[in-house]
Structure 1
Amino acid sequence: MNLIAPNIKNGGGLELLLYLIEYIKKMHSDMKIVVYVDHSLQMLQSSDNIQVIHMDSNLKKIKLFSKRINNALYFGNLPPLVKSKNSMVYFHNPYLLMPNSKLVRTSLKFFVKYFLQQIYIKNFISNIDIVACQNDYIKNKFVDKYSYHNVELLPFFRLCDRKLLGTSSKIYDFCYVSLAHPHKNHSRLIEACEILANESRSFTLALTIEDGHEELIEKLNDVNKKGNANIINLGKLSKDDVCKLYSQSRCLIFPSTEETFGLGLIEAVNMDLDVIASDLEYVYQAVEPSLVFDPTNSLDISLKMKEYLDGDVSKSKIKIENKIDKLINFFEKYNNV
């Protein structure tokens, strides 16, 4: 099996990539795989059944997509330039489903990048055998946008060890585990916190905003100065620290406006957190949330936060099944031919 992922560097895509490699290494030790990744991912090194190739230039990455590589999982949304046998694209980027009218409202950089990638997908998606995605909502949107119908649901995810439950006290009312991409909607969440702070409501919120977002950090610091809100930015966290954060939190708040899956929703419910989230289809595909809000309305977000703080809500439930073995079996069968 060849795992093509040179354009995966962070976020949920990296978490899935690390889990997939770890799972194959432990549970399918007789399966040999070659992994192509960006040079920044030095935490990935070759082992008994895993060969890791680090790619340090864009030219090498382009050449990789120009090669005919059979039995390949193209993990970063993009198909190869040439036809490959027994090949799959794993699709998990919401920007590649956005209409241009919405994409142009993000940023010039995002618009140019994803506009060109959408054209690329339309021209070369027929070079692979199957597209895998994580829920019916994304499947239908992909079929509509790219007129490609061989799409299968193969969600997979790594959950936290529930042994952490009970080992930590609940020090945060809310947490939001997410990098600060525009669609993650941190700005409106902080605005909602400001509304609560102005109403003299006391609460704690843990965020995981990475470096380079000084404007958001300044905004949350201004809210903290009001004296009621306690918003703590923990920065970018490792998987172990994310799990620890869940064990220390009562509720996940999830205001994202675009997701292909919503991994954090499933992780949090598995750790017995309540979930209050955007009233959008991706949420209902993954979990039954405790409360929902309009993610474009800071006031509505604040009202649902207040409702959660004021009383009991229904417990959230996971609605999706982990299909990592079915995904791996697609490539194992080819190895045995």
Structure 2
Amino acid sequence: MVLLDAIYINNSGGKVLLDYLIENLESSGMRVHYLLDSRVFQNHPIINSGNDVTYLKSGLRSRHAFYKENRNKFSKVLCFGNLPPSLKLNAEVSTYFHQQLFIKIPDDISLINKITIGIKMMVLHCIKKNTDRWIVQSENVRNGLSEKYNLKKETVQVIPFFPPLPPVDHIIKNKYKFVYISNVGTHKNHQRLIEGFCKFYDKFKIGELGLTISENATFEVELIKSLQQRGYPIINFGFIGRNELSEIYASSEFLVFPSLSESFGLGLVEAIDSGCKVIGADLPYTYAVCQPSITFNPFSVDEIAEAFEKSLKPDIKPTIAKVHNQIEILIKLLQ
């Protein structure tokens, strides 16, 4: 039996990938036991009655107790959440690593967040020998993970995967429509993006910026409302489903991606597949995924505004993708 341990995944891009992975495991006919975060209860694809599901509150203690009780039950294990098992198992263990913050902590985050991430990095150092292989989404992360945790490169495999967006018909791209599909987080860099767009709009009075910020991000939500009242064309779509997401990409000319740290950047891949040009941060994760149309320094509001300005020029080069969906390879690895 295969164990999919996704106890640390409950939202954002990780949840999108988890749902896609569950769908493919269920269609493969494999016998699977799922270890899931209690917050995704009844909020994931249908799991066949022949497979098992354990829901637990996310945490090191509850996860360790599960492994201690079931250490001899599984033949293969996929830890889909950066951390290998807390003890050595009698199974072939793969760990899917997709957290760039565990490789390099950005300077531009709070001290509390730095301490929290630092503790998680220490835990990872302590249990890194409990996995047989690591799987990552890009060559950039492979290099960083190997160097940071002193891993042999041959134990780290690059197997990117991502779900296709639902197809849409008869949608025309709106010129100078920019979108950034991302939840709020300090490293997601929304505030600089918004300030940069406003500077650009003050100068040219053209363009529209679409964001997907949930209502619980009260500071950003109120900031957008106040800017809307002042006439800035910033739209907050809030939390959206896959169908609406596909329509937004299809109608947008540009994806702006100012994140300070990404292991992959699912939005980059989705936007390229939807025919958007990418205005991306001049950081390694961008070039690992694509050849962007325009780049900028994501720490500089002025350079973000200048990137918007560059998009007004005719004959902007198209964005070229460098990665492709390899879900079949990942599933085969578990069979």
Q: CA RMSD in A?
A: 2.0
Residue in 2 that maps onto 1:2? 3
Q: Distance in 2 between matches of 1:57 and 1:136?
A: 29
Task: Please state whether the residue corresponding to 2:174 is helix, strand or coil.
Answer: coil
Residue in 1 that maps onto 2:31? 32
**Structure 1 residue 202: Cα displacement:** 2.1
Residue in 2 that maps onto 1:281? 284
Task: Please state whether the residue corresponding to 1:321 is helix, strand or coil.
Answer: coil
Match of 2:300 among 273, 297, 300: 297
Offset from partner CA, 1:32-78 (integer Å, 9 cap, x none) = 21111111112235324543322246443331244525410000101
**Structure 1 residue 267: Cα displacement:** 0.6
Alignment partner of 1:87 is 2:98? no
Identity of aligned residues (%): 29
Segments of structure 1 that go 5 or more residues without pairing to the other structure are 333-337
Q: Number of residue pairs matched? A: 325
Match of 1:256 among 255, 259, 277: 259
Residue in 1 that maps onto 2:16? 15
Q: Distance in 2 between matches of 1:7 and 1:172?
A: 38
Say whether the 8 Å CA contact 1:165–1:271 is kept in structure 2: no
Match of 2:271 among 268, 272, 275: 268
**Structure 1 residue 307: Cα displacement:** 1.8
**C-alpha distance 218-171 of structure 1, shift in aligned 2 (>3 A):** farther
Residue in 2 that maps onto 1:147? 150
TM value normalised by structure 1? 0.90
Task: Please state whether the residue corresponding to 1:23 is helix, strand or coil.
Answer: helix
Task: Please state whether the residue corresponding to 1:52 is helix, strand or coil.
Answer: strand
Task: Please state whether the residue corresponding to 1:199 is helix, strand or coil.
Answer: helix
In the TM superposition, structure 1's runs of 4+ consecutive aligned residues that sit over 6 Å from their partners are: none
Say whether the 8 Å CA contact 2:193–2:304 is kept in structure 1: yes
TM value normalised by structure 2? 0.91
Q: Distance in 1 between matches of 2:103 and 2:258?
A: 19
Superposition pairs of residues 42-191 of structure 1, within 5 angstroms: 42-44=42-44, 45-48=46-49, 50-56=51-57, 58=59, 59-66=61-68, 67-68=70-71, 69-84=74-89, 85-99=91-105, 102=106, 105-149=108-152, 150-161=155-166, 163-167=167-171, 170=174, 173-191=177-195
Match of 2:317 among 314, 319, 335: 314
Q: Distance in 1 between matches of 2:43 and 2:221?
A: 28
Q: Distance in 2 between matches of 1:40 and 1:282?
A: 29
Q: Distance in 2 between matches of 1:37 and 1:294?
A: 38
